[in-house]
């Protein structure tokens, strides 16, 4: 009964991106809190629950370290098994949108699924993994990882709002990140057309933009279509590496509307459809 209630709450959250009223009369609202605040809410050794947005599966973790984001470990062997199931039985660096549940707070966040570094708990997990919140940074940079940021926005119900206001270059970056993370919601929200994304995304093992020619966004305020020259490097399952050197075409219906990528042309030119 508890699982059914949680999944119902999750469906309502994903549809409306706002607080909902649970059957227990406790008002749950997903917050997008800055890392500086979360760092105090979840100090070292805090135990909390992680809920995966896509599957609804939950597992418990403990924060063990981390100064720019949370380094955490599954609490038990059972929790490790649940986490591995979320990743299809194979550890991965892919980012996933999650909700961190602690006491009476639900916080939008992002995790990857690759054990690394040291671990201290008896949980059959060889190391720790990272959870990022809004404003978190990686070990190697002083800025947010784009894919983690998009997952935090997705978990917090703010992805559509972000893409609705983004300049065309940020839309392209988010669109390609959706391919990299095999996330159909990100690619769908940046796309002009409705596409069956799952059979396409499963082919993409890795992708990056190695070059993108940009104009000052302030020069594009009145434009409603744009061709952006890019070089995109792909690694496709059972095909290997391939490169695209051409234009990504974007359209919006008025200067007040969101930029959208013409996916039909892009997918055909990259032999993905």
CB atoms within 10 A of CB 212: 15
Predicted pLDDT at 141: 79
Look up residue 139 and give its two tokens. Answer: 């070990």
Proportion of the chain in helix, strand, coil states, percent, rounded to 5: 30, 35, 35
CB atoms within 10 A of CB 247: 16
* Non-local CB neighbours of 63 within 8 Å, separated by 6+ positions: 42, 43, 44, 45, 46, 48, 70, 71, 72
Predicted pLDDT at 23: 34
Asked if 59 contacts 82 with a C-beta cutoff of 8 angstroms, the reply is yes
To which residue do tokens 């403990």 refer? 62
> Could you read off the pLDDT tens digit of each residue along the chain, which spans 273 residues?
444 445 445 544 444 444 443 333 344 789 999 999 999 999 999 999 999 999 999 999 999 998 999 999 999 999 999 999 999 999 999 999 999 999 999 999 999 999 997 778 889 999 999 999 999 998 777 889 999 999 999 999 999 999 999 999 999 999 999 999 999 999 999 999 999 999 999 999 999 999 999 999 999 999 999 999 999 999 999 999 999 999 999 999 999 999 999 999 999 999 998
Predicted pLDDT at 10: 53
Is-above-0.85 flag for pTM? yes
Asked if 58 contacts 86 with a C-beta cutoff of 8 angstroms, the reply is no
């Amino acid at each position: 009964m508890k699982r059914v209630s949680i999944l119902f709450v999750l469906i309502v959250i994903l549809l409306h991106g706002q607080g909902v009223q649970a059957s227990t009369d406790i008002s749950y609202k997903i917050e997008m809190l800055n890392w500086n605040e979360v760092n105090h809410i979840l100090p070292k050794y805090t135990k909390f629950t992680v809920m995966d947005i896509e599957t609804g599966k939950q597992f418990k973790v403990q924060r063990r370290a981390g100064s720019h984001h949370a380094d955490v470990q599954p609490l038990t062997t059972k929790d490790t098994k649940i986490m591995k199931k979320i990743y299809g039985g194979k550890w991965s660096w892919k980012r996933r949108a999650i909700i961190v549940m602690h006491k009476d707070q639900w916080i939008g966040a992002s995790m990857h699924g690759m054990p690394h570094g040291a671990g201290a708990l008896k949980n059959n997990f060889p190391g720790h993994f990272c959870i990022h919140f809004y404003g978190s940074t990686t070990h190697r940079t002083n800025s947010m990882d784009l894919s983690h940021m998009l997952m935090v926005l997705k978990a917090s119900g703010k992805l559509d709002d972000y893409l609705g206001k983004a300049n065309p270059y940020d839309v392209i970056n988010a669109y390609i990140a959706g391919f990299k993370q095999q996330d159909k919601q990100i690619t769908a929200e940046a796309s002009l057309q409705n596409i069956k994304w799952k059979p396409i995304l499963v082919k993409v093992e890795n992708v990056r933009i190695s070059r993108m020619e940009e104009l000052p966004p302030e020069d594009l305020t009145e434009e409603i279509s744009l061709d952006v020259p890019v070089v995109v490097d792909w690694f496709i399952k059972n095909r290997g590496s391939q490169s695209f050197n051409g234009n990504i075409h974007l359209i919006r219906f008025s200067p007040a509307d969101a930029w959208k990528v013409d996916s039909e042309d892009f997918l055909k030119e990259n032999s993905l459809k």
